[in-house]
Amino acid sequence: MAEHHHFDARSPGHGYEAEATDQEHGHAGVGKYVVVFLALCGLTALSFAVGNSESLRHNSPHTMWAMMMAVSCAKAMLVILFFMHMLWEANWKYVLTIPASMMSIFLLLMLIPDIGRRTDKYSEERWLHAAQPQPPRGPASGGNAHDHDHDHAEPTGGQPEH
């Protein structure tokens, strides 16, 4: 004999009981969002303080950038988890994010050697037409701060050219 499945609109996951289930698990509630917002404000202030720290900028710029990236990643994680509601999503989110993350890391690792060794097999003609790096020009080089690639010659006779 065939079994008949009865659809009950009041079962968990449908209707008013789903809303009650969300509240029991802490999905709804303004308090969490306010706390996350305040944490984002604090992390933004920290990032601003680190980015404007003259001692970090001059003594260890790599540490400064690493700290700013860590704060940015923490802020992105908070936004994704709470404001995009990924914290309360089903486990299918892992099916999407883990393979995509693995593929992006794989592609990054495969392209780094290609970028770093791109000039190894340049022909002589390619080297002739390749861009050459410019040496940094600073105040010690004696150059004028207003040096450009074009002349600012004064017109003769003091009259402007038309």
- Distance CA(136)–CA(67), nearest Å, equals 27
- Phi, psi of 3, deg, nearest 5: -85, 140
Alpha carbon 106 to its chain centroid, in Å, reads: 19
> What is the reported pLDDT for 102?
94
pLDDT digits (tens, 9 = 90+) for 133-151: 788 876 655 555 555 555 5
- H-only helix segments in the chain: 15-24, 30-51, 54-59, 61-78, 92-116, 124-129
User: Cα separation of 74 and 42, whole Å?
Assistant: 11
79-100 pLDDT, tens per residue?
A: 988 888 888 888 877 888 889 9
Residues 44 and 52 sit within 8 Å (Cβ to Cβ): no
Over range 114-118, report the average pLDDT.
Answer: 80
Cβ atoms within 10 Å of 71's Cβ, excluding its own: 20
Q: What mean pLDDT do residues 57-73 have? A: 92
Give the Cα separation of 129 and 161 in Å (integer). Answer: 37
Q: What is the DSSP letter of 83?
A: I
Tokens of 101: 């993350």
Three-state SS for 9? coil
CA gap 72, 47 in Å, rounded: 8
pLDDT of amino acid 15: 46
The domains of the chain are located at 14-89
Would you state the pLDDT for residue 147? 52
Secondary structure of 92-120 in HEC code, one letter for each residue: HHHHHHHHHHHHHHHHHHHHHHHHHCCCC
